[in-house]
Structure 1
Amino acid sequence: MSDSPTDSNRQWVRIDEEVPRWGLVNRPLTTRRSREIVVGPDGNDDDPGTEDEPLATIQEAFNRLPIFVQHDTTIRVRPGSYTDEGPAIHTGPIVQKAQCTLRLVGDVEEPERVDVRSGINSTYQGKQLHYTIRGIAFDGLSQFAGPVDLRDCVFSGNGDAAISGKNGHVFAKRCRIGSSEDRYAIWSTLMESYGLVDCDLIAGEVAIKANGPGTHRLAANCTIDAPTAFDADSGSIITYGDALYVGGQRYTPD
């Protein structure tokens, strides 16, 4: 509590958090205003993260976000290759006020122009449509808790799965998920739930592997390119267009 609470431009509480690979991160407790942080391939993580002086990594942008996001916040990622993120970007725990948005935005027309050669591990509490990732190509996503809204993204996978998590809630639209080198496009555990619209799922073994009583909904316009579409525990329910699958097997009424 070294900062003065009377200075409106500064936080009066800061949180020390240990982030793998990046060490101890000193984060403010809450936002004081709306803001945009810019990341670019020619940036520097010692810079302020503005249009003229962007950061070099998405990880540093998340390191600068508080735990409580109470104002509209955007991390804007310029086209380029990002090779210094480490195995995974950690968002840290984020709690969002209902009326504001948190957006991670790249190039929605050509997401592979924003080539983030890393996964992203996300923990979030708030409304699904208020936490969005748009127009970015990642190795993968692990949604460990809470919701996320994905639009126009690519998740190429890490050999096991392109998207996975525990107790997460993922909605994806116009996304390409997985590759033939991955065992699964999506690997769901515990109470995960997915809603997919106009997505392509690609896997070397199974498109959706579901361990746990999750519910997954695929619109009929989703495509599946895998030897097996669904491998699910008995408590998992999957709908694909008008078809219903229980425990990975298509359900037909008696």
Structure 2
Amino acid sequence: MTDIELRNENGKIVGYDSDGNKVPVSFEDGVFDSLSAERIYPNPAESSKHTSTERPQISSESHTFYVDPDSGSDSNPGTDTEPLQTIGEFLNRLPEFTYHQYKCLLKPGTYNEGGTIIGAPVNIIGSDPHNDSFVIKSTTGTPSDVVIENSLALGTITNEMDDAFISNITFADSFQLLSGNIKLGNVTFTGAENSLNGIAAPIHHTGSITFQDCNFQTGLTHAAQLRQGAQAYFSNCDGRVSGYVAVARHNGQVSEDSQNNVIGKIGFAYQGRGGRYINYDGEPYSRDARVYDDWGDGRLSNRLRPATAGYRPEWTNDHGSPTAREGGAVLPTGDSNYQSIISPYKKSKMTTGTWTVEFSCQSTPTAGELWLELIRQGNNNRYYVDFAGDGNLALAKVEGGVASAPITSSWTPDTATREVKFVRTQDVDGNGNTGLELIVDGNSQGTETETFLPDPNYIRLTNLLDAEVHIESVHERPEMGSQNLL
């Protein structure tokens, strides 16, 4: 006679042979795959406002659920050919304690399930395979294929940060972490349907989110809001928001790696009531050195970065009558009387990295020039980007009083907002040669090997165009591993 082990799995008796394989359970009245039995322990789901009483308590095996907002049904088993219709139904089928892998694969479409999608707390004890125990992702790997118009709120308690993982989707509203920790990878936040004051990801109650390769678009005010001990870590993210990237209060903590490039128009992090910002070298900034700066009004650029610790520069008028306006600077028409502002480096002397300037002309220029002097020792030694009213464009330098233009190109003088990136890197050609690159509106205008380096004293922005110029933002991003002159 073969020994059969009987196990109670979520209220059902299931038989296993000595090799651990499921076998039918034989009784006098017949052969059954399983036999229902009453629970002999309390069912917390009966009193849970988050989920139905059908939610299993403990996982018995790994599951993959498919969801299709157009052709699915929540009465389906959730297979590839018979998918669910809503993410909420997948969350209702999650066990309260998972020892196995649970995946939710979202088919292309727009998910609008009416109000906030609240998932019941998930306790992830471990899984086989161990990583990615709890996964929500698109089937295509392209974020724009899956758009969630609701706010999704989850609580996950896991052993490791990457046990819970959401990837390759777009949130038009927001993602809320109620507790626990989770990793978001290749996720786009548009803010198009945001219901939380423009916050992409509120994090509560000691929750922790790692943002990896995420994109934050201009419809947002903040990428994250942290409180009550919550944490956020940004790695290789991009995009820009209209306020701070992160707001940290009540012992919230925000940090980033050297490849992170998401930009807040006001600054990277606001620290209030015990909040902290820590750079990728592990250096914390106190509340007295908030990561915002410029002009004395706390706006325009975010130069308090790893290379500029403890430094809060102020933009000042160098010539003419520039003014501050809505987080930027107004440089009046400068063809007859040039208009310029400066920001001294003081402790900051970044020599390799990316300088980014956003500007717009308020009328179409036809004559004159706009100079963005981003590494300037003085008139005889400097690098600057030159936008000419006649359509010429150059990354120019003056070395020992001799002017030249390592990179030349053209632009269309108009009133559009322009994003200019001046890059000085230690490896411009893949062969370890120091050099320059000029990028305008995401398009490279050329590269050039170049070893000349002025001793940086200050940045100067000068308008000689026959049009008023608005400087929207100025940002610095040091190159990883670069040495800054002190």
Q: TM-score, normalised by structure 2?
A: 0.47
Alignment root-mean-square deviation, CA: 2.6
**What is the aligned partner in structure 1 of residue 228 from structure 2?**
190
Q: Please, which of 72, 83, 93 is the counterpart of residue 43 of structure 1?
A: 72
Higher relative contact order (CA closer than 8 Å, sequence separation 6+): 1
**What is the aligned partner in structure 2 of residue 144 from structure 1?**
178
User: How far apart in 1 are the matches of 2:279 and 2:62?
Assistant: 39
- Residue identity matched to 1:154: T
Q: Please, which of 262, 269, 278 is the counterpart of residue 239 of structure 1?
A: 278
Instruction: Say if 2:72 is the partner of 1:32.
Output: no
User: How far apart in 2 are the matches of 1:67 and 1:106?
Assistant: 24
1:11/1:28 contact within 8 Å kept: no
**What is the aligned partner in structure 1 of residue 5 from structure 2?**
none
Instruction: Say if 2:120 is the partner of 1:70.
Output: no
- Residue identity matched to 1:18: K
Shift of 1:88: 2.1
Shift of 1:51: 0.8
User: How far apart in 2 are the matches of 1:112 and 1:229?
Assistant: 26
User: How far apart in 1 are the matches of 2:144 and 2:233?
Assistant: 22
Instruction: Say if 2:186 is the partner of 1:128.
Output: no
Label 1:144 to 1:201 Cα distance change in 2 as closer, same or farther (>3 A). Answer: farther
Length, aligned pairs only: 248
**What is the aligned partner in structure 1 of residue 116 from structure 2?**
88
1:36/1:76 contact within 8 Å kept: yes
Deviation sequence 1:33-80 (CA, Å, 0-9, x none): 111111013211111110110001111111111111111111111111
1:108/1:136 contact within 8 Å kept: no
**What is the aligned partner in structure 2 of residue 18 from structure 1?**
49
Partner SS state of residue 251, structure 2: coil
2:223/2:246 contact within 8 Å kept: yes
Shift of 1:25: 5.4
Instruction: Say if 2:76 is the partner of 1:55.
Output: no
- Residue identity matched to 2:258: A
2:167/2:187 contact within 8 Å kept: yes
2:226/2:253 contact within 8 Å kept: no
Shift of 1:227: 2.5
1:107/1:136 contact within 8 Å kept: no
Bigger mean CA offset, 214-223 vs 122-131: 214-223
1:108/1:134 contact within 8 Å kept: no
Deviation sequence 1:167-195 (CA, Å, 0-9, x none): 21111110013x43333221111111111
Label 1:214 to 1:43 Cα distance change in 2 as closer, same or farther (>3 A). Answer: same
- Residue identity matched to 2:49: E
Deviation sequence 1:113-145 (CA, Å, 0-9, x none): 111111211111112111111111122111111
User: How far apart in 1 are the matches of 2:242 and 2:38?
Assistant: 51
Bigger mean CA offset, 141-150 vs 204-213: 204-213
Bigger mean CA offset, 73-82 vs 222-231: 222-231
Q: Please, which of 232, 254, 257 is the counterpart of residue 216 of structure 1?
A: 254
Shift of 1:161: 0.2
2:251/2:275 contact within 8 Å kept: yes
Label 1:98 to 1:32 Cα distance change in 2 as closer, same or farther (>3 A). Answer: closer
**What is the aligned partner in structure 1 of residue 438 from structure 2?**
none
Deviation sequence 1:187-221 (CA, Å, 0-9, x none): 11111111111112532222211112122211122
Q: TM-score, normalised by structure 1?
A: 0.87
Label 1:12 to 1:92 Cα distance change in 2 as closer, same or farther (>3 A). Answer: farther
2:224/2:232 contact within 8 Å kept: no
User: How far apart in 1 are the matches of 2:151 and 2:260?
Assistant: 23
User: How far apart in 1 are the matches of 2:156 and 2:184?
Assistant: 14
- Residue identity matched to 2:255: R
**What is the aligned partner in structure 2 of residue 161 from structure 1?**
199
More strand by percentage:
1
- Residue identity matched to 2:246: I
Bigger mean CA offset, 236-245 vs 89-98: 236-245
Flag structure 1 segments of 5+ consecutive residues without an equivalent: none
Spell out structure 1 runs of 4+ moving beyond 6 A: none
User: How far apart in 1 are the matches of 2:153 and 2:222?
Assistant: 18
Instruction: Say if 2:266 is the partner of 1:227.
Output: yes
Flag structure 2 segments of 5+ consecutive residues without an equivalent: 1-9, 16-33, 292-303, 312-346, 348-486
Label 1:201 to 1:192 Cα distance change in 2 as closer, same or farther (>3 A). Answer: farther
Deviation sequence 1:195-250 (CA, Å, 0-9, x none): 11111253222221111212221112222142332211253221344575322345
2:214/2:238 contact within 8 Å kept: yes
**Larger CA Rg, structure 1 vs 2:** 2
Shift of 1:12: 5.8
**What is the aligned partner in structure 2 of residue 111 from structure 1?**
143
- Residue identity matched to 2:267: T
Partner SS state of residue 164, structure 1: strand
